[in-house]
Structure 1
Amino acid sequence: MSFSWQEGNRIRLLENGEAFFPRVFEAIGEARKEVLIETFILFDDKVGKALQEVLIAAARRGVRVEISLDGYGSAELTLEFLRELTEAGVKVHFFDPRSKVLGMRTNLFRRLHRKLVVIDVERAFIGGINFSADHLGDFGPEAKQDYAVEVEGPVVSDMHRAALLMLANGAQPKKRWWRRVRATAPARAQNSGHKGDARALLVVRDNVNHRNDIEEHYLKAIRSANFRLMIANAYFFPGYRLLRELRNAARRGVKVTLIMQGQPDMPIAKMAARMLYNYLLRDGVQVYEYCQRPLHGKVALVDHEWSTVGSSNLDPLSLSLNLEANLVIRDHAFNQHLYERLQQLAAEHCKSISLEKMVQGYFWRAPLVFLIFHFLRHFPAIAGVLPAHSPKLKPFRLPDELPAEAAKSVLHEPEKTTS
């Protein structure tokens, strides 16, 4: 599933749920033919109920509505919530739904982590925001700081194609080509021509043909940087190649700025990232920790033109195991707007991390850093066989159509998930 650069797109940055949810719900409310959604998390909270309402209304007026959810991230959904969707005509799919074994989940790895909405092949949304109330400021101290984009123009057709392929082959690219093509009939775009001045490229990672595509685009952009490079990423523990290129960029005079989690939803994320600070700081990389609330963003920019917004963290799960989708953007105006927003975030809500602070006690932490770094470096290969299974996208059916035990495969007791 490879895509090419598309000219003539209009791309709008959406920061946090306050900007994202109203635009998505409005677009679904205006849908005439088709709504396709992929998300890691959908909760039965006020955001989930609002999404449910607009999806049901769309389905009842004859719009094709299909939503793909992750079997781990969205396991808390109630049967009643799903019943209301399916009875209205919404087709619900779960990626790798699995029951617990001895109280333990077995579907920890290779998640459907993409966040994608495509409407009538005319408008699309992509980023890191799930459909849950913790992306709204009124959720409290645990509300997430995050980013997405609204897209119009030719690249929407590629996003539509990616969503159709997910539905058609159950995320199994090795299926025969005729099964992939016949599974869905693409809606036709009414206004997929020139919408703006942005060039855009959809980049996906899967576990078959495009395992390193997102990482390769990051590497290429970092190597091309001339004077500024900013990355805001929630779960930061990349491989050695990316770390080396960040250090090399700083050494050749590029202003390299990283915005990391200072108040993480998962404390291990902060601990893992901090293991790398010494390596980066000593060569001039500037590191900030966002301390107002959990950072959930996955965005970056280079110089005056290149940017990316998407679902991929820079950690072993996103770069080596999960199904991810990022939009790479070449547009001066978008790049500058994202730069201004990140600069303001760093100046007003972040603390700067100094090399002097990081070297304190480093002599005893160095062996631990070495061992953990190399364990995580090989973690994807280990996780690839534990558990050994091939995740698939499966349609949800109501329990009166299934044996009782099978119906439980998409419903688990609540657990905290990261996204």
Structure 2
Amino acid sequence: MYDAIVIGARCAGASTAMLLARQGHRVLVVDRASFPSDVISTHFLWPHGMSYLNRWGLLDQVLAVTPSYSTMKLVNDGIELTGSVPAELLREYFRDLHGDDSGVVQSYASVRRLVLDQILVEAAAKAGAEVRTNFAVRELLVSDGRVVGIRGRTLDGELVEERARIVVGADGRNSFVARTLNLPKYDERPRCTFAYWTYYSGFDLGLGQIHRRGRLACAVVPTNFEQNMTLVWGPSEWSRDFRRDVPGNFQRALDFVSPELGEVVRTRGTRMERIYGTLDQAAFLRPLHGPGWVLVGDAECFKDQCTAIGMTHAFRDAELTSAALHRWLTGEATIDEAMTTYETRRRSQNAAAYYDYVCTLAEMRPYRHDELQLFVALRGNQQEIDRFIATHADIAPVSEFFQASNLFQLNDAAKESSAGYAIFEDFAATSRMYQQNPFA
């Protein structure tokens, strides 16, 4: 009898297994994959994601093979904002969620999953968790309406049955646990982005950049192996036309969103891998927990990639889930008390507001005139630029930044006008042009 069986050994699952094992619990973590292996992912970590790795003693391993940087560049229709997440907002985030602010760092990184997931799996095993790879879970064992274990098949075909006090579903958006239990999806948001990405060598921009123009966006961020993860995305309704010529439209999208980045990629970049893509990123929520089971990561809450928050939220869920289960497993709280605390923190008003924020961004509608004026106003106030980046990354509450009184103050404090930005020269005509599908 294990204390916990964790299904899925990547960001959410390996982290949860590691933290539970470090607290002295008997943990089994299984995955149908072997490691190291890659998986579809934007594989970006915001500063709180890096801070979780630091809290767990794993950051140095990641940084030994991964470039990092302390500022981000966001460019919306030619309006550039470059800044850093304030340390105090990071500390406040960890105090509010976890009760302590140890390990806070202000850096960003893009970590390939075949690098990061291997580090996490090895850390789980070192902590004492039993790790079984190439293990396909075929069935959940249920007794008196409660999940009590799993039945699965090893690589050599042996059918194995294991039992535990709790089963953790950390198996992604297409979660076997959720499907087997017929868990409903709710608050579904069908409007989303398509995204294509690949890896280029041959240039070094020094920091991560995210650009957006009209209904298209791109990002270039340094990653492992002296390469740059290069990503383009747009509204899902344009995906069919984009797919008719993926390599050509990939470069066309870069050139449209940022001619400067397009030129760098075209003239200096060497593509090192094929172009990967994902089309269906419709967001949804599922129930967090039930008799004998709990979900973490994308299995419970899946959001569009447009803010690249998935891995960071997986780490957050791992720490919250393991803390709640530890209270129950040690007898400090009943399972209902522990899970209620977990759900209260996960389903807070701030979490709902950020979910709405991401889903709205994923519609990829062109920015309004007043929204672009806000970006111009931000350029005169570094403190507010930093707070906006923190809000975009779900470190500061969305409601605080976008409250009316703050927006009025920003506009009053603006030191620049909209003059000099091409987007404002004939805004109506440009907005009409943005609505046209450039790949049709």
TM-score bracket relative to the smaller structure: under 0.3
Q: TM-score of the superposition, structure 1-length normalised?
A: 0.25
Q: TM-score of the superposition, structure 2-length normalised?
A: 0.24
